[in-house]
Structure 1
Amino acid sequence: MPQHHPNMPVCRDCDGFATAAITTGGRNRDGSRTTLRVACPACKGTGTVRRVRRLAVSV
């Protein structure tokens, strides 16, 4: 489980697990599996999101 800074909110799309290794099914010459590293598109692989300040508008 990744450790997060208490003031940084966790990405809601990847839940803090920003990078995944996906097996393609093939093997390399040394016998290891061929994998792709894919980063979360929402947080771009950081696992956290910036806080957005919203302005209160009174009607």
Structure 2
Amino acid sequence: MPQHVSRRPICRDCDGFAAVAITTGTRHSDGTRTTLRLPCPSCKGTGHVLPAALVRAGR
């Protein structure tokens, strides 16, 4: 079966993986690690960017 393909371009900085989870090294009381979820600053966590023609420039 064919995959669904988005018409919007994928972010060149994160390649569509819009967020990362970073472990802090500490643990919760149940033994799981504490993590921080950080979104991509370029696409703001969406994984996609607007084409350059649609971005408003100027005043």
Q: Determine what percentage of the aligned residue pairs are the same residue.
A: 59
- Which residue is equivalent to 2:26? 26
Task: Report what 2:57 is aligned to.
Answer: none
Which runs of 5 or more structure 1 residues have no equivalent in the other structure? 55-59
Alpha-carbon distance in structure 2 between the residues aligned to 1:38 and 1:4: 25
Computed over aligned residues only, the root mean square deviation of the Cα atoms, in angstroms, reads 1.6
Deviation string, structure 1 residues 14-43 (Cα, Å, up to 9, x no partner): 010000000000000111000000000000
Q: Secondary structure at the match of 2:23?
A: strand
TM-score by length of 1: 0.79
Whichever of the two has the greater Rg, that structure is: 1
Q: How many residues align?
A: 51
Q: Which runs of 4+ in 1 moved over 3 A?
A: none
TM-score between both structures, scaled by the size of structure 2: 0.79
